[in-house]
Structure formats: C-alpha cells, structure tokens
Structure 1
Amino acid sequence: MSNIPDSLKYTKEHEWVAPTATALVYRVGITDYAQAALGDIVYVQLPKIGETLTADKVCGEVESTKSVSEIFSPVTGNVTAVNSDLNSVPESINSDPYGKGWLFEISVEIEPETLLSATDYAGITA
C-alpha cells in the first residue's frame, strides 16, 4: 500500500501538489504509488524556470529502469523553481517522493479547485 499524505492534493496522473509558504505557489512531485510503479528512477527531465505550463499537459518526463513516464502539470501557471538536485540524485524520487524528491514549483493566479483529496486519490490507486 502506498503512502498518501492527507495534507496534499493529487491528480489522476499521480502527481501531488502542496502549498508553499508563498501565496499561490505550489510544489509538485510524483506520488509514492507512481514511483513504486516506475521502479528505480535514473533520469528526470523537468520544465524550465519561467516556463508557462498548462494544466493536464505534459511538462517533463521520468525515466526508470522499467520505462519512461510523462509528467503532467497539475495546474496552469509559471514555473518558479525546479529541483536541480534531481540532476545528480534522481533516485530521491524513489526514496523520498514527498520531500527531497519534489519536481518543481509553480505560481498560479487562482487556487486550484480540480485536484483530488487524499481519500479520492486513494480510491483510484486501490
């Protein structure tokens, strides 16, 4: 059974979204369920700082020893930060998907309303 923190929001594509200390800026990563399904992650392609992303559109990819999986932006907004540590330590996504394995931060104009609660996300991973 995968770890699904109640404090986060989720997408059907297995990304998590967490508010940061800055209003309307959110941190994004892939869920424990997704990293477990992918296996050992060896490479991550992230969006660039300043890039405008559209909700539900591909914005990067994660490569594992099993496959390559696309990363989808959970919300529309501008990338304000990326986790450059993943360039040298992509396996952080496996060992700490909700901490050191975060992918990028995105600023939005309005609070996202289409994300799933932990309970709803658990329902699609069961």
Structure 2
Amino acid sequence: MRMQRRGEDALDWRMYRGEGQVQVERYFRASTRLAASVMFYHLEPGAEEGVHHHLADDPASCSTDSADEMYVVTRGEVVVTGGPEPIVLREGDAAYAPHGVPHGVRNDSRAPAELVLVYGPPLG
C-alpha cells in the first residue's frame, strides 16, 4: 500500500486561460494502474479553471486524448461553466463532463473552495 500526504505533489497552476491560479494536487501520478487520475483542487476566491474540453484528434482540445471529468465539491462552492447556464455546486454536489463537452469551474464566492476531480478515458 502507498500513501501520499497533502502537498507532496501540489502546484499552483494557471489553467486553460482562467483567472488566478488553482492549486492542483495530483495523487499517485503515473504510479498506479488505474485508468483514471485523481486530483484535488483548491480555488481561492476569484480563481477559475477556464472552459476547456478533452477530445482526441481535436486541435482545440486541451489534451491529446478523449477523457471524461467528474468534479465533487468538498468545501465551499464553485460555479460550473461551459454549458448553456452556469450552475452553482456546493459541498457534496458533483458535476460530470463527458469527453468533448466544454466545461470549467470557478470560485465566485468570498471563501476558498475545494474539490476532487476524477479524470479518465470513457468506457466502451
């Protein structure tokens, strides 16, 4: 069994033309056989990931592979962007973005927000 403590693989990242920086913690990067990657996001007020999508062979994609993403809010609230209307998610809420669908998150609140992101190839 392996263990990783918070902060061991963290970086502040300005993502996909978003405002501010998102602190991203990558868990067990390239050291598991899981098909999905798990990350932890910390967003200070005003920080945003920026709208993006994941679709193989699409030059506008932010990645070279097709991947789905799921966000689970663990603290505070975030606004999910990219759809027809922004959606507010609060602690315990989740959003799922299939590959190719534009999406992003931002923190419009006055308090920090945190979420877990699961990213991986679609099945089937």
Q: Which has the larger radius of gyration?
A: 2
TM-score, length basis structure 1? 0.28
Question: Which of the two has greater helix per residue?
Answer: 1
Higher RCO (C-alpha 8 Å, min separation 6): 1
Question: Which of the two has greater strand per residue?
Answer: 2
